[in-house]
Amino acid sequence: MTARPVGPEAVSSGPDGAVAAGVARETGGAGPDPMPLKQLVAEGVSIWLDGISRDLLVDGGLEHLVTVCHVTGASANSEVLAAALGGNGAYRAHLAGLAVRGVGAESALRAMANLDFRWACDVLRPVFEATDGVDGRVSVEVDPRLADDREAVLTEAHALWRAVNRPNLLVKIPATAAGRQAMSDCLADGISVNATLVFSLDRYAQVLDAYLDGLERAGRAGHDLARIGSVGSFSVGGLDRAIDGLLDRLGTPEATALRGRAAVANARLAYKLHEEQLDSDRWRSLVAAGARPQRPLWEFPAAADSSCSYVKYVEQLVSWGIVSSMTRSGLELFAARADLRGDTVTGEYHSARAHLDALAGLGISCAEVAAGLEADALRALVLAWDRLRCAAEEALRDAALNRRD
């Protein structure tokens, strides 16, 4: 069984041992009610925060989420970081120092982000230790512009791993064909990985296979398999928007009756693939060598899209050994509106398959829709990365101007 997160006794510290200000202090109001979050954890779900920024670290916000709200992991988000840089805030002093040295935007961005990543890893290190490395992870992305270049992704992943230099880091790698190869290479080198941009069952099966291949190679290379962690990030929500649009075009009663259910059905069948892997001879051999499962991580749509559907997605994808990644606003919505009913995944495989079959009967292929979503998501990730770089350039210019004034 998967170890569970620790409680408020997990006091955390900032980078290089500096204790972050405001330990376990609430920020931005009362914050989410921890009881529904506690119930979610009791069902075997790990809650990870989607979005890290310096402000959240400086004011103790991440520590509060860990010690009070049962958050046991965190993930970098380009949009969150770009917004934080645009306001300068806690980055102001760091930006000023970088500006005076004439550091370029990309180098400055890496310096600021890597400090955030180290700091977040240190905040979550007690959770990492208490759960024997299952939780307490911080997930950060490689440059998505490299997603179709295996060697470039591998080089970037190694650079991130060395720069952050924390055992609880996960390197995010898009699950493109080149990305899956690089993912396997990273695992073989002992680097923990988060496989991202997974929308389809076929892609998820390929990610699971890449994970096993990487672990087998890591074992042959003499790495301690117990120290290698991984999640497969399965995107939830976008599929409903795309398929509901196709159903609306059909406009029949049969089509209308199928609206809003494809994403959950698809994710439930992904969890079935996860369970089947854990029951394979190939996996049993790796377990005997100390390996840990690659856990499914659900990535939910933006909470602002629809508060009711957001909570529905979390509620309907509850089972043991998964990770639910939520933004701050998503945590608050879930805590305010959740109505948990225990495991909502493992008893639903037949109905999930029947739903996808019914869509196929109307000429709608989830696999084809998911392929388009993957391509769209990668383009969106590249655009977000470009916006982040532009935000860093503007923040550096502002810092230089303020210094002259």
Q: Catalytic site residues?
A: 172
> Long-range contacts made by residues 90-97, C-beta under 8 angstroms, separation at least 24?
90/53, 90/54, 90/55, 90/57, 90/58, 90/59, 91/54, 91/395, 92/399, 94/54, 95/395, 95/396, 95/398, 95/399, 96/399, 96/402, 96/403
Residue closest to 143 by CA, chosen among 301, 300, 378: 378
DSSP labels, 17-71: GPPPSSTT---SSS---HHHHHHHHHTTEEEEEE---HHHHHTTHHHHHHHTT-E
Cα 4 to the chain's mean position, in Å? Answer: 18
Q: Are 236 and 300 in contact (CB under 8 A)?
A: yes
Distances (CA, A) of 47 to 66, 108, 231, 345: 10, 30, 13, 17
Count CB atoms within 10 A of the CB of residue 305: 13
Collect all residues with Cβ–Cβ distance below 8 Å to 343 and sequence separation of at least 6. Answer: 43, 318, 319, 320
Task: Kindly compute the dihedral angle of the four CA atoms of residues 228, 79, 307, 230, in this order, to the nearest 10 degrees.
Answer: -10
The residue type at 58: V
CA distance 210 to 176: 11
Judged on CB neighbours under 10 Å (0-12, 13-18, 19+), 5 is: buried
Percentages (nearest 5) of helix, strand, coil residues in the chain:
60, 10, 30
Phi and psi, residue 47, nearest 5°? -105, 120
